[in-house]
Amino acid sequence: MKNILIFIGREFCINEAFVEYAKRECLKTLTTIHAIEYLSDRDKNLFLKISSAVEEYQNVLVIASYHSYPTASRVVATLLEDNLIAREDMLVPSKATEIEPNSFLVQHDNSTINVVRAKVGQKLPKILLFSQMESAGLFLFDMQSEDIIQKLIPLAKSYEVELIFTKITYELHQALVYNKKFGDLPMFVQNAKLLLPQNLIVARNLFEYLIERFSALGKQVTFAESCTGGLLASMLTKIPGSSNIFPGSLVTYSNEIKHAWLGVRKETLQAFGAVSEETVEEMLSGALRVSQADYAIAISGIAGPGGATPTKPVGTVVIGAKGKNAEIIRTLHFQGDRNYIQYQAAMYGVKLLFEIAREELF
């Protein structure tokens, strides 16, 4: 089933934080979003755009601002050739099949429409749509796109499931697998794991998986971040239960703080620079010493747009992971703007953690 999320209200065009929150809530019930549109209640073609969406998508979630809700509900009623009635302190089509405070559900031909009246800064009303599509999330380590196509696409075809994958960072891909009409998703997942036992993890969120496994094992991880500015810590602590495995981390931007907080030697910084494998090695040791965690990830690089040198262009990032019995440090070159480089670097740090803790995480 194809799903579309439609925001109606001009404020959603500038309030990125609330929009991201709404998308997360949507994904809890719909698994995936195939399209997102931003519309204004003043749009002269609003009816045509919603009508077109209803024709193309089986699940249509409309999130309207309080100001835009009357227009949105009227458009949906017109589409249904229906009248509006007062229910739950709002106007809803009389053909609504389910009504909750600030949310209603209607059926139209082969589509289900859920209109939600949302107020920025408040909890999103209940989303009444749900996906009937059986699906699973995968993360694929140390594989190229060609390897995934060669090994998993034929398996997906044999079990009649659809596989979509994308590159997250070097040597790390994410995939969504869902059933076709007569598919056998559980058997696909089982055989994919048997085929790639040290390369594949079944999870929708890598940080949720990490928290679950490390919590069960009583393990902890810490970070020493420079160019990523605490992004790793932010991504991990967004997930409930992160306190079980995360005692804290350090953002050491300047050389002085790297020396004072992590014990990186001044001689190392002077001889090799902050963006070097030698510095990251000492950042890892310092992070483990300060936190007493079992594992550490350290990152130092040039996210841009400035700071480049002839030998270290923008996108040069040194990333390491260290445990009691293993350590890996690599120098990578990422492309994109500052934020995208930071994200790729952070996720590669997680990838290295899974590499050195392979026995515990796979």
Q: Which residue has the tokens 């929708």?
A: 204
Looking at residue 332, what is its pLDDT? 98
Please state the separation of Cα 219 from the chain's center in Å.
23
Q: With a cut of 90, say whether residue 346 has pLDDT above it.
A: yes
User: pLDDT tens, 244-266?
Assistant: 999 999 999 999 999 999 999 99
- Structure-block tokens of residue 141: 């380590």
Q: With a cut of 90, say whether residue 352 has pLDDT above it.
A: yes
Looking at residue 133, what is its pLDDT? 81
Contacts with 149 (C-beta within 8 Å, 6 or more apart), sequence order: none
pLDDT > 70 fraction of the chain, expressed in percent and rounded: 100
Average pLDDT rounded to a whole number, residues 180-204? 97
**Domains defined for the chain, CATH in brackets:** 3-118 (3.40.980.10), 135-204 (3.30.70), 207-361 (3.90.950.20)
Residue 225's beta-bridge partner residues? 251, 299
Name the phi and psi angles at 42, rounded to 5: -90, 0
| 241-275 b/e (C-beta count within 10 Å ≥ 16 → b) | ebeebbeebbbbeebeebbebbebeeebbeebbbb
- Structure-block tokens of residue 193: 């794991």
Q: What is the mean pLDDT of the chain?
A: 97
The pTM (predicted TM-score) of the whole model is 0.93
State the distance between the two ends of the chain, measured CA to CA, in whole angstroms: 31
Answer yes or no: are the C-beta atoms of 280 and 239 closer than 8 Å.
no
| C-alpha to C-alpha distances, 108 to 76, 95, 238, 243, nearest whole angstrom | 10, 10, 37, 46
d(CA 236, CA 220): 12
- The letter for the amino acid at 323 is G
pLDDT > 90 fraction of the chain, expressed in percent and rounded: 97
Looking at residue 31, what is its pLDDT? 86
Q: What is the three-class DSSP state of 233? A: helix
Answer yes or no: are the C-beta atoms of 189 and 136 closer than 8 Å.
yes
Looking at residue 1, what is its pLDDT? 84
Average pLDDT rounded to a whole number, residues 53-82? 98
Q: With a cut of 90, say whether residue 71 has pLDDT above it.
A: yes
Helix, strand, coil share (%) of the chain residues, nearest 5? 40, 25, 35
Average pLDDT rounded to a whole number, residues 124-143? 94
Contacts with 212 (C-beta within 8 Å, 6 or more apart), sequence order: 241
* DSSP secondary structure of 84-131: EEEETTEEEETT-SEEETTEEEEEETTEEEEEEEE-TTSPPPPP----
| 173-193 b/e (C-beta count within 10 Å ≥ 16 → b) | bbbbbbbeeebbbeebbeebe
Sorting pLDDT into bands at 50, 70 and 90, what band is 82?
Answer: very high
